[in-house]
Amino acid sequence: MNTALVTRFRHEVAATTVRDVLSANGIPAHVVLGERGFEVWVDEANLARAREIVVGLGRDRLERPRPPRSSSPRAEVKTLRARLARGIRMGPVTIALLVLSAAITYYTEFGTGEHAAPFHFAKITRAGRHILEIDGLAFVREPWRLITPIFIHGSLLHIFFNGWWIKDLGGIFETLFGSARLLVFTLVVGALSNAGEYFIGHTPLFGGLSGLLYGLFGYLWIRGRFDPTFPLRLRGSVVIMLLGWFVVCAVGLIPHIANWAHGIGLALGMLWGYLESGHLARKLR
């Protein structure tokens, strides 16, 4: 049986797309590289129907170059699972968080020594033990103040508790997503939880990794609940323990706690995890 030319394209992907569509409609077709481009050929008996299908597809749309896809969701899932299978380890950012917390807590004498002033969120002017002025906008001129409170801890128990959970949750996050991603997460959640503690909680002196800790917890918890492809689910005992501690602190059973930093960190992490889970996008389809 004789074959006939249906159409030709500049791009091979357009020609192979048409071939596949024709084949799916019961019209055998093949692609040939000709002098003027990539040609789609079919049997003469199918020529008229094949051309109708091509017109319906839209030639301009087929020829339009498509942006390259960095990776498919399936490939990303395989990558995350492979990283998790190699084992959870503390990366450089997680280690830096722990080392800086220990060093700055020691250097500032648990946030109460003479060297603590540059690390607090607000710039505090003192006369002896008396506070003369509190400048809550000092971070505009000294932007490190947005982050440095996370490294100040008020007791050995405080730094041990926070450090233990950062070791685990930060290690998981950094293993899955890499050091750069954890650094960005730390800067965003740390800055916003610190700002919230000062401006909403009206607390001039506070510190600790708790806001970041709850941000990491919220992200991993919600991402695991709403993303069926996510390779990790936090154990129920972990969720109960951290939510229980959150409530105990929030109702005032434990004094001198940066509850707004906890709450904002948790909310940010949960929102971030939910948006990246794809659950909302799937519901809107």
Q: Which residues are catalytic?
A: 210, 262
DSSP codes of every residue in 204-217: SS---SHHHHHHHH
Sign of CA dihedral 275, 276, 282, 285: positive
Say if residues 119 and 152 touch (Cβ distance below 8 Å): yes
For every residue of 79-94, DSSP letters joined together read HHHHHHHT-----HHH
* CA 93 distance to own-chain centroid: 15
The kind and range of the H/E element at 6 are: strand 3-9
**Calpha distance 283→27 (Å, rounded):** 36
Q: At what angle do helices 210-226 and 179-199 cross, to 10 degrees?
A: 120
3-state DSSP call for residue 66? coil
Round to whole Å and give the CA distance between 55 and 127: 83
Residue with tokens 């389809």: 285
Amino acid at 107: Y
Q: CA separation (Å) from 180 to 92, 133, 185? A: 10, 37, 9
3-state SS, one letter per residue, for 96-150: HHHHHHHHHHHHCCCCCCCCCHHHCCCEEEEECCEEEEEECCHHHCCHHHHCHHH
